[in-house]
Structure 1
Amino acid sequence: MNRVPTKYSTKIAMIEWLVNNNIPHDPSESKADLMRLIDLHKPLDKVYRIDEIVRQAGHVALRLPPYMCELNPIELAWAGVKRYVRERNTSGNLPKADLKHLTYEAIASIGKDDWEGYVKRVMAIENSYWERDQRMENVVDEFIIDLGNASSSDSESSSDTSSEVD
C-alpha cells in the first residue's frame, strides 16, 4: 500500500505520490529533486494490503526472519512435492504435461496430517532456537566483567597479567 516511487518512476507518478501524501512540492522541479523529496518523506516500514486484511479480521501478521526458510512449513511441503515428482520421474525426461500432472497430484496428496507434521517440525526447530538463544545469553552473562566494581588490586593484577602476555 502507498508504494513509494523509485528513481525509475515517471515524473507524473512521483508528483502523484507527493500529492497523495500531502507533501508540498513544486511540480516544475526535476525528477532528481522530486526523488530527493520523496526519499525524505518515505515511510520507514512498508505496509502490505494483506496485513490490513489480516488486521481487519482481528489478527496480526508475523513475518519470518529473512533467509530462515527452515521456519516456514511451506518449505517442507515443497520438499515433499519435489520428492514425489522426482521419485516418479525416474527417466528424467517426462514430457512437460506429465510433470505438471505429477506436480498437481503431489500437491493434492498433501493432507491435514501432513500440514500438522510440518507445523510441529517448524515449532520444534523454533523452540530449539529459543533454547539455544537462552543458553547463549547465560554464557555471555558469565563473561561480562563489571569494571565499575573492580578494585585497584584487581586492576593491578590484570595489568600485570597483560604485560606478561605481551
Structure 2
Amino acid sequence: MFHDETWVNIGEEKRSIWIDNRGRGRLRKTGGKDIRLAILAMLDANGFHLPSVEIFDCSKDHSMTSMHFIEWVKKTAFRLREDREPTENSKSAKRSMRKHEIIEWLDDHKVEFDSTLRKPELFQLASDNKPRKEYKVDIVAQEFNVQILRLPRHCSLNPVEIAWAGLKEYIRKNNTSFSLTDVRQLASEFIAGFDDKAAQGTMHYAEKVETTYKKADEFVENAVEPHLIDDISDTEIDKLSDISDDRSE
C-alpha cells in the first residue's frame, strides 16, 4: 500500500474563469488559502483504503505534526509515510561538520580513534561507524507488525501523489460555493469513487516514470560520466576543508 498526505483550500477553483451549468461563475480569486483541509490516506490496487482516510481542518502554516501522524499510525496500523524525524541516536556525522564536531560525534558514539588523525580520516571513521537510522514511525509500526518501505523522494514515483492531483482537479471543477464543508464533501466523493481501475492507473503511470528515470540514469552513467573531468578530487576537497579547520582552531 502507498501513503502520502495532501491539502486543499476553500479557494480551489479553475485557473482563470468558470461558469457552472446554471450560468453562475466568476473570475479566479486568490482568497481562501488560509483555511484548508489536510487529507491523508492509504492506496492500493483496489483504490483508497477508506478506514485509513482522515480529513481535518488546518491552516496554511500547520497541516501535519509528528504527534498527529504517529497517532494516525496507531489508528490505522498500515504502511505509512516517513515522518522524516530520525531519533537522536541515529543521526550520522556530516561532511560539513567541523573537526571538533566530528570528534564529539565519535566520543558520543563511543568510537575509539587516534587523536592525531586529520579531519578526512576522522570523518571516514565516523562514516564507517554510522548507526542504522531509526524513525519514530517505525517504532510505532512495529507494534502492529507492519514494515514500512520508503520511496525515493519524488512525487511522480508515488501513486498516491498522482491520485491527489486528480482529487484537486475534481475539486476545482466542482467547487462553486467555496465553503469548507463543501470542499470536504467533494474530497470525500472523489476518494470514495476512486476505484480499482483508477488506482491501478496511477501505479502504471508511476512505473512508467520509474522506467524513464532508470533509462536516463543509464544514459548519464554510460554516455556522460565517462567524459566528465573533475578539476578537484574529493581528496583535495577534504584537504582544503581540513586546512580551513586547522586555521580556525
Superposition pairs of residues 87-102 of structure 1, within 5 angstroms:
87-89=173-175, 91=176, 93-102=177-186
Equivalent residue number for residue 81 of structure 1: 167
State TM-score, norm by structure 1.
0.53
Q: What is the CA-CA distance between 1:118 and the residue it aligns to?
A: 0.2
Match of 2:158 among 72, 94, 97: 72
What residue in structure 2 maps to residue 49 of structure 1? 139
Q: Deviations over 1:110-149 (max 9, x none)?
A: 111111000000000000111111111111365279xxxx
Change (3 A) 1:50 1:139: farther
> Which amino acid in the other structure matches residue 87 of structure 1?
K
- Return 5+ residue gaps in structure 1 as ranges: 6-35, 146-166
- Find the aligned partners of 2:187 and 2:225 in 1 and give their Cα distance: 50
Give the 5 Å matches for 1:9-158: 40-41=108-109, 43-47=131-135, 48-49=138-139, 52=142, 56=145, 61-66=148-153, 68-89=154-175, 91=176, 93-140=177-224, 142-143=226-227
> CA offset at residue 71 of structure 1?
0.8
Partner of 1:13: none
Distance 1:53 1:134 in 2: 40
Distance 2:228 2:174 in 1: 57
Of structures 1 and 2, the one with the larger relative CO (CA 8 A, separation 6+) is 2
Runs of 4 or more, structure 1, over 6 Å off, are none
Which of the two has greater strand per residue?
A: 2
Aligned-partner Cα distance in 2 for 1:70–1:50 = 27
Deviation at 1:62, TM superposition (A): 3.0
Query: Per residue, is there more helix in 1 or in 2?
Result: 1
Cα RMSD over matched residues?
A: 3.4
Closer, same or farther in 2 for the Cα pair 1:40/1:101, shift >3 Å?
same
In structure 1, C-alpha distance between the alignment counterparts of 2:140 and 2:223, rounded to whole Å: 40
5+ residue gaps, structure 2, are 1-85, 90-103, 110-129, 230-249
TM-score when scaled to structure 2? Answer: 0.37
Q: Using a 3 Å threshold, how does the CA distance of structure 1 residues 140 and 94 change in structure 2: closer, same or farther?
A: closer
Q: Kindly tell me: are residues 51 and 131 of structure 1, through their superposed partners in 2, closer, same or farther at Cα, counting changes over 3 Å? A: farther
Give aligned pairs, total. 108
Distance in 2 of aligned mates of 1:51 and 1:97: 32
Describe the shift of the 1:61–1:142 C-alpha distance in structure 2 as closer, same or farther (beyond 3 A): same
2:181, 2:189 → 1: CA distance?
Answer: 12
Specify whether residues 44 and 142 from structure 1 end up closer, same or farther in structure 2 by C-alpha distance, changes over 3 A only: closer
Native 8 Å contact 2:155 2:162 kept in 1: no
Q: Supply the AA of the counterpart residue of 1:111.
A: D
1-side partners of 2:197 and 2:188: how far apart? 18
Quick check: which has more Rg, 1 or 2? 1
Distance 1:142 1:4 in 2: 40
